[in-house]
Amino acid sequence: MTTLRDATTSVVEAVYLGDARIDVREAAAVPPAAGQVRIRVAYVGLCGTDLHIVHGAMDARVSTPLVFGHEMSGTIESLGEGVDGWLVGDRVTVMPLDWDGTCPACVAGHQHICQNLDFIGIDSPGALQTLWNVPASTVVALPPDLALEVAALVEPTAVAVHDVRRGEVAPGDRVVVLGGGPIGVLIATVARHTGAEVVIAEPDARRRAQIDELGHLTIDPHATDQAAWVTTWTGGAGADVVFEVSGAPSAVAASTGLAKVRGTVVVVAIHGAPREVDLKQVFWRELRLLGARVYERTDFEAAAELLAAGVVPSELLVTAIVPLTGVRAAFDDLEQGRAMKILVDVAGAATR
């Protein structure tokens, strides 16, 4: 790694080049434009979307070279012209959604799923760089007692908050989460905090052991008749809410058979291909089938408060913290199931 000559004029960044290639390099820093905030990035979490990018599964969407990453924490380093309400040194995270404000979805009040949405870190440069310029409108303040390494979990926690809110989970509900990855675990955590009873269906034994450490009930869907188990668990009724988080065709096929009469199935996973859905169950039980995509600002703010309050067991979720030069190996660990959540110490790159 090259030693930085001036940490305000140079940036160290992790870049996706295409063909599953990642480079960590030094580049010139760009001052924030009008309406932008420049953030000195502290930590970045790696997620399944990042893994899809590195696999090349999103090559039709992303432009290379791409600085990726969107789960982050940091401090404001400088302000662009016209930015009010922020101070240099403020501790922040970023809600990485930049909408146009004019499309039908935005006009209807659904800006977070703008029809022309720029998801920052996918459609435009992301957080795996020591200095990052973002629209001031995307910046979210952190609670004063929330450590920066924990604050890197605000974005995925906000996903879970939005999903649970979308599913209208209520105290006393029986909730089934299909898939025990980080988002599935966070959904289970937020749902349990809401007052629901939760079970996570996860086929991987190593991951089930990690989830058990977090105090969640788990079942192996390959070794257990899920429908029969849920029927017994719910006294014959079925689950109030089912979250499909795994992305597996078998989970989609099973999901509508697990919900109660007038229950809800929330589709959280991104499915790259059409799936078979048992629509007879949707008809027969008058189910609600909902999509849940990204989050709104209220979800981000609620997520930050949950993390500050210790509701989310960050110390058990975060498997490792690696340097910026360790991003490639970190993806290998995620792909092989050796880690639940990995953070990248981006700030450390500025001192090497």
Gap between the Cα atoms of 30 and 11, Å rounded: 9
Gap between the Cα atoms of 303 and 157, Å rounded: 5
Pick the catalytic residue from 52, 110, 193, 325: 52
For residue 276, CA distances in Å to 179, 200, 239, 252, 292 come to 18, 22, 20, 7, 19
Is residue 52 annotated as a catalytic residue, yes or no? yes
Is residue 162 annotated as a catalytic residue, yes or no? no
Gap between the Cα atoms of 297 and 112, Å rounded: 9
Q: What interhelical angle do 48-55 and 327-335 show, nearest 10? A: 100
Pick the catalytic residue from 2, 8, 49, 102: 49
Q: 87 phi and psi, to 5 degrees?
A: -125, 150
Gap between the Cα atoms of 326 and 31, Å rounded: 27
Q: Which residues are marked as active site?
A: 49, 52
